[in-house]
Amino acid sequence: MSLSLGLFMPNYSNMPSISTYNVAPNQWHYEINKRIALDAEWLGFSYLFPVSRWRGFGGDTNFLGESLETIT
What does the domain layout of the chain look like in residue ranges?
7-16+48-72
Is the pLDDT at 16 greater than 80? The verdict is: no
Instruction: State the average pLDDT over residues 50-71.
Output: 75
Rg (the chain; Cα; Å)? 13
pLDDT (tens digit per residue) in 26-57: 667 788 888 988 999 999 999 888 877 777 77
CA 36 → CA 5, 52, 54, 55, 65, distances in Å?
A: 14, 18, 23, 24, 21
Judge contact between 28 and 17, C-beta under 8 A. no
Dihedral of CA 19/23/29/31: which sign? negative
Given this model, what pLDDT does residue 41 score?
Answer: 93
